[in-house]
Copies of this chain bind each other. A is one copy, B any other.
Amino acid sequence: MFKIRSLVTALALVGSISVASALEVLPTVAPAPADNPTTAEKVELGQLLYHDPRLSSTGTVSCSSCHNTMLGGEDNRPNSMGVNGQTGGRSAPTVWNAAFNAVQFWDGRAPSLEAQAAGPVTNPIEMGMKSWDDVVARLNTIEGYQVAFEKAFGKDSISKDNATKAIAAYERTLITPNSPFDKYVSGDKSALTEQQVRGLNKAQELGCTGCHSGPAFNGPGLFLPFPIHSNPVYAAKYHFKDDKGLAEVTKKAEDEHRWKVPTLRNIALTAPYFHNGSVKTLDEAVVVMAKTQLDKDLSKEEIADIVAFLNSLTGEFPKQKMPVLPATPGSTFN
């Protein structure tokens, strides 16, 4: 997944990533990998698992605790709070439209939703389970899960592989189409205000959509440097460089401070911003990005226009039923 990095670096250096790209409507169906075709049964099981706090050591943290499907797909916190009140250094990315990310996690270390879903469950400061074997053992004691896994994957199929496949299948349904932007691109020119159109044009002109490209404004899975232009004020205020990004995984100097390009879809709903959640407002996030990535100082009007455009990327949230999680009659894990 790190192969195209050098190409991107080259593109970034010659400035050609700032060329405006065609505007694309968000697809309403997410592509699924060949070994995990989406089925209704998997989606149903995945919704259960996604919302089940019993996938955590304390029974208090589910996927949805930090990637909240009732909100903007995350927790509106600088960093998430896992089991026993523990917090990490990064801000939870939104689950909405995560299906359109080529890679997952801020550092892009997971090449798929399936791979991503396996991580937090056994992370000691997130969901804190000792091992996936423990998760599987726990799920096996819940008759309702035996039934739901059988429907989705066949008899006696509770496993890490199938649990993460089901969660990923569910996440592929978490798409927010029909934003004002999508309606505009589909031909309804009244869907955006004049200010939003100005903001869209400005974002393209400045080069924002060079990296934030494609229908989800998240690029094709490249690892880009951030911040490109060091700024002592922001360094002191936001500590962007405390976290080395991709290099924390690869341990390579050339990967330091490289990050996945996050989606701009529903960006208005996912404050605070950046990998460490250090920037509280969308206005400031726009100012910081322009300065650190493009070395531009925006006027007040430009900031307001771009923020207005970004607000047009808030989509429609699909109607979901509240899951009824399978019970463990007469006993508990805790």
Contacts and interface: CB of A to CB of B under 8 A. Distances in A.
Contacts of A75: 53, 59-60
Given A76-B332, A277-B334, A281-B330, 4 more contacts: A52-B70, A70-B322, A71-B327, A84-B85
A283 interface: yes
Interface stretch (A29-37, A178-186, A236-244, A265-273): A265-273
B331 A271 contact: yes
Nearest to A52: B70
A283 B327 CA distance: 16
Nearest to A277: B334
A81 B269 CA distance: 27
Nearest to A324: B317
Given A86-B85, A322-B322, A60 B69 contact: no
Contacts of A334: 76-78, 272, 277
Interface of A: 51-54, 58-60, 65, 68-72, 75-78, 81, 83-86, 268-269, 271-272, 277, 280-283, 307, 311, 314, 317, 319-325, 327-334
Contacts of A72: 327
A83 B81 CA distance: 9
Nearest to A62: B70
Given A85-B84, A324-B317, A283 B76 contact: no
Nearest to A326: B71
Contacts of A329: 268-269, 282, 311, 314
A221 B64 CA distance: 36
Majority secondary structure, A binding face: loop
A132 to B, nearest CB: 21
A69 B322 contact: yes
Contacts of A280: 331-332
Contacts of A76: 54, 59, 328, 332-334
Given A68-B53, A76-B59, A77-B58, A331 B281 contact: yes
A65 B70 contact: no
B271 A323 contact: no
A325 B269 CA distance: 11
A320 B323 CA distance: 8
A216 B159 CA distance: 39
A27 B76 CA distance: 40
A97 B327 CA distance: 17
4 nearest A-B residue pairs (beta carbon) = A85-B85, A282-B330, A84-B85, A320-B322
Contacts of A325: 68, 70-71
B70 A332 contact: no
Nearest to A323: B70
Contacts of A86: 85
A331 B58 contact: no
